[in-house]
Amino acid sequence: MNRRLTRRTVMAGTAATAAVGLAGCLQNPDAGSGAGTSVERYSEGDTPGTGTVNILGAFGGQEQEAFLASLADFQDETGITINYTPDSDFTTTIQQRVGAGDYPDIALFPQPGGLFDIAEQGVIVPIDVYLDYDALAGSLITGFLDSARLQGRVYGAPMRMACKSLIWYPKKAYDDAGYGTEPATMQELYEIADAIKADGITPWSDGWGADQATGWVGTDWIEEFMLRVHGPEVYDDWIYHRMPFNAPEVVEVFDIVGELLKGDGNVLGGVTNIINTPFSEAPLPLFEDPAQAMLVRQGNFVTGFFPEDVQGNMDSEVGVYAMPTWDGGFDGQPILGGGDLAAMFTLNDDTVKLMQFLTSAEFGGPWAQAGGWLSPHKTFDVSQYADETTRTVAEIAANADVFRYDGSDVMPNAVGGGTFWTGMVEWLQDEKTSQEVCDEIENGWPE
């Protein structure tokens, strides 16, 4: 029969390592005297599998097809049958299923916050029980596992990455004008923006429109600058509420971002256009003839919203570089992003084998070739990506000094998907000051 760790066993390990903290080192918790004394290490043969593994995830359609194609060889080689169920309302469904005791064998969480909610119930097996934690940490982009840590333990391992800290530009128009493509700092990027303005072109295009989710793009701006100005440790303290949302460091970053987004002539159409433009349409002015703007800050997924002719000739039409560091801030290149985290509910030989494969650098070749997927591993074979643009993005992420999850995905939903979004809109429109917005978000933080 399938083997599950009891709530008492899992939570004992959690309590033993609570002092490690989210910003602690990435040493295998099973290697020290903490969790290693209370959590049983799994070995092959402890519990035979049933020959079938059931997975619940959020993605369907073409992504589902590419995911299953990436598992085809594994199923052939191991004889394990994989049943994948997509659910667009994954967050609600997984909560309901856990509440009813109807667990999938493995779940693919699109956000760490949802994973943390379930892990606190003691029904997910910590990854150090069955994976080579230190080898995994060494293969992944620096900081990825640190971003999935709950009270000193890690309960999910990434099988897909999103990279957000990217600056996109229209390659032909940008290169013809001679603008720099390797700014070392945001201050140097500001100088490039000034040169663009001097040529009579608006530097930036931005759009926050997303119906009820309007404002999420603004939260990314704040998170990007929190990482750069104050570094990952302060960033962690902020998103996990070890420091108040209205701390001086946060208010300072709001003001810095405001100078960019609200500055005269910096963003196409100004504040009104930012609010009224769907985020998916923000890149379009870059590819008009002539270009109406030169820069868009957005994640790797934005390429799916480029004009079809641009998508068909990506490497010639599009340029991209990392959002640079802040002069006087964190001494290193940070990357803000996201990722799907694989987490195990059922512990047996079959689920362990699948988790070892899903979370390895060997997973994902067919998905990479199909497009729309990035490996979280520095050691992934980038030649498998379909175009040079994607390879460049992958290398930007792999060369980063530290990775951190999108903060609003980690914060309680009432904040990360609520007051933070609405507060950004009020702030952008100057209905409230930086201090007022931060105060309101802090005062509304769930107990």
Summarised one tens digit per residue, pLDDT across range 84-111 is 999 999 999 999 999 999 999 999 999 8
Tokens of 39: 């959590």
What confidence score (pLDDT) does residue 69 get? 98
- Based on the domain organization, do 179 and 323 belong to the same domain? yes
All residues at 6 or more sequence positions from 29 whose CB lies less than 8 Å from its CB, including other chains: 13, 17, 20, 35, 36, 39, 126, 128, 133, 152, 153, 154
Closest of 231, 105, 435 to residue 443, by C-alpha: 435
- Based on the domain organization, do 269 and 198 belong to the same domain? yes
Tally of structural domains, the chain: 2
- Based on the domain organization, do 237 and 356 belong to the same domain? no
- Based on the domain organization, do 209 and 329 belong to the same domain? yes
Q: How far apart are CA 338 and CA 169, in angstroms?
A: 22
- Based on the domain organization, do 386 and 417 belong to the same domain? no
Summarised one tens digit per residue, pLDDT across range 282-304 is 999 999 999 999 999 999 999 99
| Beta-strand relationship, 81-86 and 52-57 | parallel
- Based on the domain organization, do 295 and 329 belong to the same domain? yes
- Based on the domain organization, do 375 and 417 belong to the same domain? no
In a domain, 73, yes or no: yes
The CATH number assigned to the domain holding 238 equals: 3.40.190.10
* Mean predicted confidence (pLDDT) in 105-127: 93
Residue in this structure with the two tokens 């917005």, named with its chain if needed = 437
Please give the residue that has the higher pLDDT: either 400 or 37: 400
* Mean predicted confidence (pLDDT) in 237-246: 97
In a domain, 146, yes or no: yes
pLDDT band at 39 (very low <50, low <70, confident <90, very high): low
pLDDT reading at 31 higher than 90: no
What confidence score (pLDDT) does residue 28 get? 55
- Provide the mean pLDDT of the chain: 91
pLDDT band at 36 (very low <50, low <70, confident <90, very high): very low
The percentage of residues in the chain with a pLDDT greater than 90, rounded to a whole number, is 85
* Mean predicted confidence (pLDDT) in 186-200: 98
- Based on the domain organization, do 244 and 352 belong to the same domain? no
Which range marks the domain in which residue 16 is found?
7-163+336-405
pLDDT band at 29 (very low <50, low <70, confident <90, very high): low
Closest of 185, 166, 110, 156 to residue 335, by C-alpha: 166
What stretch of H or E contains 107? strand 106-109
- Based on the domain organization, do 77 and 209 belong to the same domain? no
In a domain, 378, yes or no: yes
What confidence score (pLDDT) does residue 150 get? 82
DSSP string, 321-363: EE--B-TTS-SS-EEEEEEEEEEESSBSHHHHHHHHHHTSTTT
In a domain, 322, yes or no: yes
Q: How far apart are CA 235 and CA 231, in angstroms?
A: 6
Within 10 Å of residue 24's Cβ, how many Cβ atoms? 14
- Based on the domain organization, do 263 and 398 belong to the same domain? no
pLDDT band at 357 (very low <50, low <70, confident <90, very high): very high
In a domain, 266, yes or no: yes
In a domain, 12, yes or no: yes
Within 10 Å of residue 79's Cβ, how many Cβ atoms? 10
What confidence score (pLDDT) does residue 26 get? 42
- Based on the domain organization, do 277 and 423 belong to the same domain? yes
pLDDT reading at 129 higher than 80: yes
pLDDT reading at 227 higher than 60: yes
Q: Report, in angstroms and rounded to the nearest whole number, the Rg of the chain calculated over CA atoms.
A: 22
Q: How far apart are CA 47 and CA 38, in angstroms?
A: 19
- Based on the domain organization, do 206 and 254 belong to the same domain? yes
Summarised one tens digit per residue, pLDDT across range 45-99 is 999 999 999 999 999 999 999 999 999 999 999 999 999 999 999 999 999 999 9
* Mean predicted confidence (pLDDT) in 334-342: 94
In a domain, 2, yes or no: no
In a domain, 52, yes or no: yes
